[in-house]
Structure 1
Amino acid sequence: MNRTTQSLIAVVVALGAVTGFAAFGGADTADDGAKAAAHQPVERTSLLCPVPSGSDLAETSYTAYTPGGSGGDAGGSARLLPVSKALTDAAREKDKKAKPFLTQKAPGKPVAGEASGAESPALIGTADGGLAPGWTVQQTTTYAAGSGRGMHGTNCTAPDTDFWFPGASTAKDRSDYIHLTNPDDSAAVVDVELFGPTGEVTSPVGDSIQVQPHSSVPVLLSTLADKAYPNLTMHVIARSGRVSAAVQSSDEKLGGDWLSAAADPAGSLVLPGIPKDATSARLVAYAPGADDADLKLQLASPTGTITPAGHESLHVKSGMTAAVDLGDVTKGEAGSLLLTPTDDAVPVVAALRVTRGKGARQETAFIPATGEVGARATVADNRAKGSTLSLVAPDKSARVKVTASAGTEGGSPATKTYTVKVGTTLALTDPPVPAGLKGSYALTVEPVSGGPVYASRMLAVPEEGIPMFTVQTLPDDRGTVEVPHAERDLAVLQK
């Protein structure tokens, strides 16, 4: 037996060990059709939380949670570290001084931590074993004075290489920063592109931004543009490495919030959970391809789908950002915006900026287009009062199970099942709350039957007459991964 044949056999044996031989294929058991991939719990999850604030008055809370019964290996760990102290696995074994900011020890119970002031760093989180599937971390910051005063909330996100942010701005009263965080051991190189109402806003400053290993870089968007633009779409691309990206928007008069990345470009989009008392809503959309997009605008209200008067459609030119002010589009009822093509489907990205309050006591938040809940989605840091869970079923009625976790300081889980009628938004101002709740808790949404469901959570905590609030969307938590079907194929030894 020659060395090549021995190596090939070693490869086949190794592959068998890795896949466990999902099927044993002999000549008489061959399957002419492709078999569906199995879904297995993820074994490791990485999340990054941006620098929360530059205000000395800022108070930030972090809540981490893994749903119970997520599967995966028993045991495991989950923790948040300042990004500058995040180490490789090998180095971490040698350096026991890297004390975690937050540690979670078991699924089913959230844990929380707090930080104050302007010196709080970006955090990197890792979860493995039984804590990895569906691990979620919420970062919520409040401060009552200064530019951007209000509530700034965001889900800490996984690193990636491509992000879209419709709704960014370089307007005079806005200070928008893109926070780029690199979790890895090698530097990342990132390009930031801005697109306004007439096309790309060219600036060489946005090219080849270096993000060093285990570091976070904030970039003020106004330094990348030649003038003030009220409405922009930003595209962030990692040319090498990977980063997490999130935009913190602060307005001199209207407060602020985090703008999370929108769902990937698609022909139809759902933007769930416009508050019933929204005093204004601005839609920003962008068509990245070569074709213009013509979109039909509909509002999924509590009773059905309606077309907003005067805002029946939106034309989005290729490569240009389009914006439209929808006013108080919800008319006192919570709703979700549905964007569908009027003719041929053309991929677009979109986000809403919504405002609550009046005069000097206004506050804003963002609702980017989002993916469906899928198998399961979770949002952490819910309070005894102030949480509104919005569920929308655009295509077909659906039944949805909503589970409230135990509290961070005590309480027993609670579950309720709801029916969401087709074309409607079900806004739960009193979602399930743990019995005997102490602290904050997590909400997990799981579709039971019917069509696809989209969701968001509004957290509202008024302070000094300001209707402080933040909105987080709930796409699928990616707690499972597809494992390809594998069979023995000894024919490779003869090739």
Structure 2
Amino acid sequence: MKSTHLSLIAGAAVLAAVTGFATVTAPGAPAKTAAKSATVLPVERSSLVCPAPSGSDLAETRYTAFTPAGEAGDAEGTAELKPALPVVDDEDETDPKKIKKAEEAAKKAKEKADKPVLAVKEPGKPVTAEADGASAPALAGTATGRLAPGWAAQQTTEVTAGGARGLLGVSCTAPDTDFWFPGVSTAKTRQDYLHLTNPDDSAAVADIELYGTEGALKSEVGDGITVPARSSVAVLLSTLTDEAADRLTAHVTTRSGRVGAVVMSAEDGAGSDWISASDDPSGTLVLPGIPADATSVELVAYAPGEDDADVKVRLVGKNATFSPAGSATLHVKSSMTAVVDLKDVTRGEPASLLLTPVRKDRATPIVAALRVVRGKGDKQEIAYIPATGPVGARATVADNRGKEATLSLTAPGATAEVKVTASAGSEGGEPVVETHTVKGGTTLAVTPKAPEGLKGAYALTVETTSGGPVHASRTLARTEGGVPMFTVQTLPDDRGTVEVPAARQDLSVLDD
């Protein structure tokens, strides 16, 4: 998942260009001392958007927001998520009474949108809110000051019956301009809605492209989709094309503005969940956190460039990394989606998937995601695991409850050590810190130790303290009516810090 923060670098660069703030050596002048290394500082502003949780009247949703404790400057700041405005199409309305009624409704919606649904008050303690039914709106917001670094939020929805049955979880994401979604579908058995949420005060315009196993699908209605200011729209992917395809890759870009993007997928007889965007195209990808009891695993990959990709497919298991029988390599044609059925590849042990180029000198970038099934028949449930970047310095997942959470830690290369902090509970409890060693080439699945005296929900923060990169995900699981419901969220680096280049005033450039 992506994270876009307002950087302090931009301000420094502008100041340098206007006033000569950065050091420049004039022609003929003595050489200056080498520039000092950049200073790492906490970000001062970050944004998040969350899609509308569900279209089901049976939906029960809980929102959780959290900022990790740590060094984040002296500015107090705020961290609020507010409802997005409803999109009203009344351009063709001529009845004065209906126009007035629409204006009154829009006014009330605006007043409601000014009131936060979630507001973090202090680092280290999560806050929660609940919403029932199909009317819960999308959310958008900004964190500033000491509440900005690492600000995270999640919405978790349970639907116990109907076509959207399942446990649906999604981490709220930073708005961006480019997203890849391997694993979407326009099949008659699927209802895949792409949710686009615009947090800004001006409209955004987005384009949607769909790519199947034979290349791009014909579509005349996926271009120029307007997302009004501070609003959210949901696009049913099957309405963009006449072709019904089981496995596709969707590419979302914006012509103007920025949006948050995520896909809600409901599959007849198999449940529902969110499909989050894959990490940026890369020659090497990690998809962490396949549950030990997965009954079916399907890999969907796409090569966006002009070259085909030949990829090694390896399973990073509990004790070693190995190639699945019959699926050691995958050929992904340029601009086409490739699908591999890995069946019950984990065979009772937790694992992650590692994709690397067959030849290092031909590392063609790809995007990828997994469709994972637990259970069988009418008692099965689905979830999706996108390729994700490493934890890096720190990553957080906001919503955890009792013993429902499993944390998956994968070290695809060198052995690494990580620190895992379970925060205070939203209604009480003391933080707990654990340290785990993840051996190189293995996946470690752990049940996090809950906060002492836990009440409510808590957040998990993972920090890499030594060794190689670690990729992580968190699974929430519960059984309802015999159905093993679950959802998986990845933990990429929260990018809570930014490098600010060292600079000093030097007006020698003004000398003759």
Tell me, yes or no, if structure 1 residue 46 matches structure 2 residue 47.
yes
Aligned 1:297-376 pairs, distance under 5 A = 297-343=313-359, 344-376=362-394
CA contact (8 A) 1:25 1:487 kept: no
Q: Equivalent of 2:463, from 434, 446, 465?
A: 446
- Is residue 2:233 matched to residue 1:210? no
CA change 1:465–1:70 in 2 (3 A) is farther
How far did 1:438 drift? 0.6
Instruction: Report the CA distance between 1:432 and its aligned residue.
Output: 2.3
Q: How does 1:235-314 map to 2 (within 5 A)?
A: 235-314=251-330
Tell me the distance in 2 between the aligned counterparts of 1:356 and 1:283: 15
Decide whether aligned partners of structure 1 residues 54 and 342 sit closer, same or farther in structure 2, where only a CA change above 3 A counts.
same
Q: Which amino acid aligns with 1:79?
A: E
| Equivalent AA in structure 2 for residue 65 of structure 1 | F
Distance 1:23 1:398, change over 3 A: farther
Q: Which runs of 5+ in 1 are unaligned?
A: 1-10, 86-93
Structure 1 letter corresponding to 2:491: L
1:31 to 21, 26, 33: 33
For 1:387 and 1:25, the matched residues in 2 are separated by 57
Question: In the alignment, residue 46 of structure 1 is paired with which amino acid?
Answer: S
Separation in 1 of the partners of 2:71 and 2:309?
40
Q: Return the match for 1:455 from 461, 472, 478.
A: 472
Kept in 2, the 8 Å contact 1:302–1:426? The answer is yes
Check whether the contact 2:141–2:199 (CA below 8 A) recurs between aligned residues. Answer: no
Tell me, yes or no, if structure 1 residue 481 matches structure 2 residue 498. yes
C-alpha change, 1:210 and 1:97, in structure 2 (3 Å) is closer
C-alpha distance in 1, partners of 2:211/2:330?
Answer: 17
Q: In the alignment, is the contact (CA less than 8 A) between 2:310 and 2:358 conserved in 1?
A: yes
Tell me whether 1:378 sits opposite 2:379 in the alignment. Answer: no
Does the 8 A contact of 2:417 with 2:464 survive in 1?
yes
How much has 1:95 moved relative to structure 2?
7.6
Question: Match of 2:483, SS?
Answer: coil
Question: Among residues 422, 433, 437, which one is paired with 1:404 in the alignment?
Answer: 422
C-alpha distance in 1, partners of 2:141/2:477?
A: 26
Q: Is the contact between residue 24 and residue 487 of structure 1 (CA under 8 Å) also seen in structure 2?
A: no
Give the conservation status (yes or no) of the 8 Å contact 1:72–1:133.
no
Letter in 2 for 1:449: S
Write out per-residue CA displacement over residues 190-220 of structure 1, whole angstroms, 9 at most, x where no aligned residue. Answer: 1000000011112010000011111101000
Q: How many residues were matched structurally?
A: 476
Deviations 1:290-312 (A, max 9, x none): 10000001111010101111111
Superposed displacement of residue 492, structure 1: 3.9
Say if 1:486 and 1:51 are closer, same or farther in 2 by CA, change over 3 A.
same
Cα gap change, 1:76/1:24 in structure 2, threshold over 3 Å: closer, same or farther? farther
Distance 1:28 1:457 in 2: 56
| Identity value in percent | 64
Q: TM-score, normalised by structure 1?
A: 0.92
The CA distance in 1 between the partners of 2:331 and 2:113, in whole Å, is: 56
**Cα distance in 1 for residues equivalent to 2:503 and 2:189:** 57
Q: Distance in 2 between matches of 1:336 and 1:105?
A: 36
Q: From the superposition, tell whether residues 244 and 381 of structure 1 become closer, same or farther in structure 2 (CA, over 3 Å).
A: same
Kindly report structure 1 stretches of 4+ aligned residues shifted beyond 6 Å.
21-29, 94-97
Unpaired segments ≥5 residues, structure 2: 1-10, 87-109
CA 1:460–1:96 in structure 2 vs 1: closer, same or farther (change >3 Å)? Answer: closer
CA distance in 2, matches of 1:128, 1:65: 13
User: In 2, distance between residues paired with 1:442 and 1:199?
Assistant: 41
| Equivalent residue number for residue 436 of structure 1 | 453
Matches of 2:112 and 2:478, distance apart in 1? 38
What is the aligned counterpart of 2:210 among 173, 186, 194?
Answer: 194
Q: How does the TM-score come out when normalised to structure 2?
A: 0.89
Q: Which segment is superposed worse, 344-353 or 461-470?
A: 461-470
**2:380 aligned counterpart, secondary structure:** strand
Q: How does 1:93-242 map to 2 (within 5 A)?
A: 98-242=114-258
Contact 2:310 2:329 in 1 (8 A): yes
SS of equivalent residue, structure 2 residue 281: coil
Corresponding residue for residue 66 of structure 2 = 65
Distance across 2 between alignment mates of 1:308 and 1:468 = 26
The whole-number CA distance in structure 1 between the counterparts of 2:129 and 2:440 is 39
**Does the 8 Å contact 2:217/2:243 carry over to 1?**
no
- Provide the secondary structure at the position in 1 that maps to 2:64: strand
Change (3 A) 1:25 1:128: farther
Q: Secondary structure at the match of 1:71?
A: coil
CA distance in 1, matches of 2:111, 2:133: 28
Deviation at 1:15, TM superposition (A): 3.2
Q: Deviations over 1:389-443 (max 9, x none)?
A: 0000111000100000000110000001110000000000x21210011111000
Contact 2:64 2:399 in 1 (8 A): yes
Matched AA of 2:484: P
